[in-house]
């Protein structure tokens, strides 16, 4: 989820805590605390963890002769350097040759063949690695703002590839949500502790709907739990659904705190909350299905081309 979706979710969750809406009516900021704490996990990652990550290798296109095959071979060599007790973290970079002149490319992992695949200017290059244990969906784009880092390690299923190893680790822990709640309860009030801890936990659980997953019980666990693979964090419709659902429920909670509520709860929940959400989810599911079908067709086309090349060779 994007930051605005997490913030809206934190506000909504806070509005369900007894006393928070009344506090907001008196000018209190407890409800805002819920939104702020819902932003904290990604703040920890993108303002701190990202910059202290240890890297073993940086892969950058050659300035004079950018070649997708050279990039694929370089990444494949990093897999060969992985040992059972020593994973490697690799950072992928674009190349800037001028103000608006960039060398950009995409990376995907062909799990069926055990290949890394680099595509640059519609030219595809492959390098064989071996069995791959990779759960993230879709190609990774190395664009102007930078590329992703990958942690390469060995597992029973082959080479395990962890996308953005610095992200959703210690920061995305339900244990940390409880600890934050306890700290706020001690420093401010029990209600503040409940609001802050709930906002933090809502962020963590929302992220679990995606592909990347989170380390839900750090420091008692070391690896991220696999996500439910229902959506990507940058998908517009899931973020829109989250914001709409959060703000409409927040509005309902604010109205119910009035001496004479103005909103008819049943029609509001049915036509204002549920109906738009269900329609958006249906549109998103349809689009996702079409993308899945297109991906299968493209994969079949690549296999036919590869078979034809092998036959002609």
pLDDT, tens only, 138-158: 789 999 888 999 999 998 889
Query: Which residues on neighbouring strands pair with residue 88, listed in sequence order?
Result: 152
Query: Which residues on neighbouring strands pair with residue 142, listed in sequence order?
Result: 105
Q: How confident is the model at residue 183 (pLDDT cuts 50, 70, 90)?
A: very high
Residues 116 and 149 occupy one common structural domain: yes
Residues 158 and 123 occupy one common structural domain: yes
Residues 117 and 193 occupy one common structural domain: no
Query: Exposed, middle or buried: residue 203 (CB in 10 Å: 0-12, 13-18, 19+)?
Result: buried
| Domain span holding position 206 | 3-50+169-263
Report the distance separating Cα 225 and Cα 215, nearest Å: 6
Angle at which helices 3-15 and 30-47 pack, to 10 degrees?
150
**Residue 43 within a domain:** yes
**Residue 269 within a domain:** no
3-class secondary-structure state, position 198:
helix
Mean pLDDT over residues 260-275, rounded? 96
**Residue 268 within a domain:** no
> Mean pLDDT in the chain?
92
Mean pLDDT over residues 202-226, rounded? 94
Residues 173 and 206 occupy one common structural domain: yes
Residues 19 and 63 occupy one common structural domain: no
**Residue 132 within a domain:** yes
Peptide bond connecting 230 to the previous residue in cis, omega within 30 degrees of 0: no
Residues 217 and 161 occupy one common structural domain: no
Q: Is the pLDDT of residue 310 over 60?
A: no
The pTM of the full predicted model, rounded to 2 decimals, is 0.88
**Residue 277 within a domain:** no
Q: Is the pLDDT of residue 120 over 60?
A: yes
Residues 222 and 186 occupy one common structural domain: yes
Asked if residues 282 and 275 have their Cβ atoms less than 8 Å apart, the reply is no
Position 43 scores a pLDDT of 96
Summarised one tens digit per residue, pLDDT across range 44-54 is 999 999 999 99
**Residue 305 within a domain:** no
**Residue 250 within a domain:** yes
Domain termination residue (choose one: 263, 281, 297):
263
What is the number of structural domains in the chain?
2
**Residue 299 within a domain:** no
Domain termination residue (choose one: 125, 141, 165):
165
Residues 153 and 247 occupy one common structural domain: no
Q: Is the pLDDT of residue 161 over 60?
A: yes
> CA gyration radius for the chain?
23
Residues 143 and 237 occupy one common structural domain: no
Domain termination residue (choose one: 248, 263, 278):
263
């Amino acid at each position: 989820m994007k930051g605005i979706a997490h913030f809206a979710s934190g506000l909504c969750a806070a509005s369900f805590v007894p006393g928070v809406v009344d506090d907001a009516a008196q000018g209190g900021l407890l409800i805002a605390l819920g939104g702020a704490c819902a932003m904290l996990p990604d703040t920890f990652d993108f303002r701190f963890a990202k910059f202290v990550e240890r890297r073993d290798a940086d892969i950058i296109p050659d300035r004079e002769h950018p070649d997708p095959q050279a990039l694929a071979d370089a990444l494949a060599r990093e897999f060969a350097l992985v040992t059972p007790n020593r994973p490697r973290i690799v950072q992928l970079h674009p190349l800037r040759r001028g103000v608006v002149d960039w060398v950009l490319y995409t990376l995907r992992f062909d799990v069926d063949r055990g290949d890394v695949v680099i595509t640059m200017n519609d030219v595809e290059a492959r390098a064989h690695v071996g069995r791959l244990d990779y759960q993230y969906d879709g190609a990774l784009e190395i664009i102007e703002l930078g590329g992703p880092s990958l942690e390469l390690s060995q597992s029973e299923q082959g080479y395990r590839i962890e996308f953005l190893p610095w992200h959703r680790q210690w920061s995305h822990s339900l244990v940390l949500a409880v600890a934050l709640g306890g700290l706020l309860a001690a420093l401010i009030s029990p209600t503040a502790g409940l609001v802050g801890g709930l906002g933090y936990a809502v962020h963590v659980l929302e992220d679990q709907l995606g592909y990347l997953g989170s380390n839900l019980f750090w420091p008692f666990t070391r690896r991220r739990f696999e996500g439910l693979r229902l959506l990507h964090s940058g998908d517009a419709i899931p973020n829109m659904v989250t914001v709409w659902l959060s703000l409409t429920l927040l509005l309902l909670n604010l109205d119910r705190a009035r001496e004479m509520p103005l909103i008819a709860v049943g029609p509001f929940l049915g036509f204002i909350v549920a109906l738009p959400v269900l329609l958006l989810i249906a549109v998103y599911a349809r689009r996702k299905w079409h993308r899945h079908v297109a991906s299968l067709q493209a994969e079949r086309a690549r296999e036919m081309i590869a078979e034809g090349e092998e036959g002609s060779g």
